Amino acid sequence: MAKQDRAVRTREQLIRSAAEAFARSGFGLSSLSDISTGAGVSSGALHFHFSSKRELGEAVESAAAETLRGIIAPCPPGHPDPLRLLVDTSHLLSQRLTQDVVLRVGFGLGNDATWQEDAKLWLKWRSWVGATLVVAGERGDLAADVLPDAVVSAVTAAVVGSEILGRADAEWSSCRAVAQFWSLMLPRLAVRRGETGLP
Amino acid sequence: MAKQDRAVRTREQLIRSAAEAFARSGFGLSSLSDISTGAGVSSGALHFHFSSKRELGEAVESAAAETLRGIIAPCPPGHPDPLRLLVDTSHLLSQRLTQDVVLRVGFGLGNDATWQEDAKLWLKWRSWVGATLVVAGERGDLAADVLPDAVVSAVTAAVVGSEILGRADAEWSSCRAVAQFWSLMLPRLAVRRGETGLP
């Protein structure tokens, strides 16, 4: 492996190990030596990449934001089924939050009292949901009595809440909670084509 | 004030101050001296009531559980409108979570990596929602194609998510988010009496 590839891989291992430490002990109680040990590298290698725990925290957030950007590709105006895209993407986000500790901690750091930065990944998710609903509305896919703002809030809160509950309680699968949310919400949101009175 | 009343009040002040410290710094980084100072009492007075930070954490959780019990009175089988009770109670819980730091931290401690107890207040809330829906179902108030389990998950996740988002972002009023959730969910859940085809 070329020297540069090794450096990239070490950096990624450190970010992952930092996320694992933050998830385990919170940002405030995580130590740099735990993080370098977890990544299987020396303390010197850690300091080559990161000058402080704060810098590691910022790197976790940036990596999580990058992953989120890959999940929420913008919905183009002519998309054939924006509501389906919304459902599928919320499932994908929920699944990735369960599997990817860097993404989870990037979202979760905002709830860690010992970490004062504001990644606001939830706000990015909320904006994406809003923009996707605009496309759905323009296509006439939304029931007339549904307020898009209300849907944005409900969908955002549902994904946040599923993630938190999934974290606290292994019996609570966040994917199941998201599926149940949509089994209720989708029939409410989607315009009922058969009931418009039109032929 | 009688000596015993003063002791009860000091204990309450310490529990509140502990909750404020945990909300500010997380459980792991909160110090007993911050907590006694915040309560306006001496370190000796703190140790008269609590032998450790862990005991203070447990007292915060017990106080929060007691407050929750007051919010979720059991819904009796003959209740005239269990769905209305569900909506009103979720609003009340959301409002109290915003106002009452002890309740908030009692719920939130489960998400603090530096605190390993399991208060599981969310599970108590979830059980109550489930029991209230059973009463609604027995009255014939639920639409036929609605799975009560799905509603329990969605309502629990919505209240959890609203609380978390309200905490991270002042613009996000958790009460508004809960109202928006119900504006979408209630028409979906409730049986549409006018559409039964019966006279």
Contact assignment for A180 to B154 by CB distance below 8 Å: yes
Report chain A's mean pLDDT, rounded to a whole number: 85
Contacts of B158 in chain A (CB under 8 A): 154, 157-158, 161
Q: Evaluate whether A64 touches A22 at the Cβ level (below 8 Å).
A: no
| pLDDT range class, residue B197, cuts 50, 70, 90 | very low
Q: Check residue B194 and give its pLDDT.
A: 52
Q: Check residue B199 and give its pLDDT.
A: 36
Contact assignment for B28 to A25 by CB distance below 8 Å: yes
Report chain B's mean pLDDT, rounded to a whole number: 85
Give the mean pLDDT of B26-38.
91
* Angstrom distances, CA of residue A117 to CA of A38, A104, A124, A159, B115: 24, 15, 15, 21, 21
| pLDDT range class, residue B195, cuts 50, 70, 90 | very low
Contacts of B162 in chain A (CB under 8 A): 153, 157, 161
Higher model confidence: residue A116 or residue A42?
A: A42
* Angstrom distances, CA of residue A157 to CA of A17, A22, A64, B32, B111: 28, 23, 19, 34, 16
Give the mean pLDDT of A42-56.
95
Highest mean pLDDT among A93-102, A158-167, B84-93: B84-93
Q: Check residue B169 and give its pLDDT.
A: 63
Q: Check residue B59 and give its pLDDT.
A: 95
Please check the confidence at residue B111 and state whether its pLDDT lies above 60: no
Higher model confidence: residue B144 or residue A18?
A: A18
Q: Check residue B106 and give its pLDDT.
A: 87
What was the ipTM of the complex prediction?
0.73
pTM for this structure? 0.80
Q: How far apart are CA A165 and CA A108, in angstroms?
A: 12
DSSP, res B197 = S
Q: What is the pLDDT of residues A74-98, one digit of tens each?
A: 888 889 999 999 999 998 998 888 8
Q: What is the pLDDT of residues B118-173, one digit of tens each?
A: 557 888 888 999 999 999 999 999 988 888 888 888 888 888 787 777 766 655 66
Q: How many CB pairs under 8 A join A and B?
A: 152
Give the mean pLDDT of B81-90.
93
Domains of chain A (ranges, CATH numbers): 3-195 (1.10.357.10)
Q: Check residue B198 and give its pLDDT.
A: 40
Contacts of A164 in chain B (CB under 8 A): 111, 160-161, 164
Contact assignment for B160 to A159 by CB distance below 8 Å: no
Contact assignment for B114 to A29 by CB distance below 8 Å: yes
DSSP, res A149 = H
Higher model confidence: residue B197 or residue A12?
A: A12
% of residues, chain A, pLDDT over 90: 44
Contacts of B154 in chain A (CB under 8 A): 158, 177, 180-181, 184-185
Contact assignment for A165 to B147 by CB distance below 8 Å: no
Contact assignment for B26 to A28 by CB distance below 8 Å: yes
Q: How far apart are CA A176 and CA A174, in angstroms?
A: 5
Q: Check residue A46 and give its pLDDT.
A: 96
Q: Check residue B15 and give its pLDDT.
A: 97
Give the mean pLDDT of B56-76.
93
Give the mean pLDDT of B37-49.
96
Identify the residue among B93, B114, B169, B186 best suited for mutation to test binding to A, counting A beta carbons within 10 A and taking the highest.
B114
